[in-house]
């Protein structure tokens, strides 16, 4: 079986079994669970993703990093006043990101179609909407 075709749950199970074999039943690592592996994986990922323990500051750090790399970012913190004449609510949070790759792909695809999808509650914060814009390629598939 090709490893990349193995379901992620099966890979985790196989890897956990390999770990258990390396340790005797007298050692705590012999009894490691998938939940513990997932928690450790999240902690490791969080170290690369969360640039500050304060989420507002972490978001601002990401905005600064992306802007310094030349990416398009529009950011309005809940504490920032809305743009003059925008009629936006004062306590509205907005984060818009368009990478150079996304912009180039949209222009390469002929910028004839732009779809939008919205979902909510994708984070621990309630009433946060996530909007995704999608361009269609020449075969009608979204990117």
Average pLDDT of adjacent 10-residue blocks, the chain of 143 residues = 44 74 81 79 78 88 94 91 89 90 81 78 78 77 66
pLDDT at position 64 = 95
Structural contact between residues 135 and 109, judged by C-beta atoms closer than 8 angstroms:
yes
Instruction: Provide CB contacts within 8 A for 62, sequence distance 6+.
Output: 51
Contact 17, 34 (CB under 8 A): no
How much is the pLDDT for 74? 92
pLDDT value at position 12?
Answer: 66
Q: pTM higher than 0.75, yes or no?
A: no
CA-CA distance, 120 to 55, in Å (whole number)?
A: 18
Residue 75: CB partners within 8 Å, gap ≥ 6? 59, 60, 63, 94, 95, 96
Strand partners, 73: 97
């Amino acid at each position: 079986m090709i490893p990349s075709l193995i379901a992620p749950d099966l890979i985790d199970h196989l890897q956990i079994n390999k770990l258990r074999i390396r340790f005797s039943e007298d050692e705590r690592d012999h009894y490691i669970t998938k939940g513990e592996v997932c928690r450790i994986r999240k902690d490791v990922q969080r170290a690369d993703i969360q640039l500050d323990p304060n989420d507002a500051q972490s978001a601002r750090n990401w905005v600064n990093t992306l802007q310094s790399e030349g990416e398009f970012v529009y950011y309005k913190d809940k504490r920032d006043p809305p743009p003059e004449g925008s009629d936006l609510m004062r306590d509205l949070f907005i984060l818009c990101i368009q990478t150079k790759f996304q912009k180039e792909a949209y222009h390469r695809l002929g910028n004839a179609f732009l779809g939008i999808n919205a979902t909510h509650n994708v984070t621990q914060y309630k009433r946060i909407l996530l909007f995704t814009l999608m361009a269609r390629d020449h075969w009608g598939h979204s990117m």
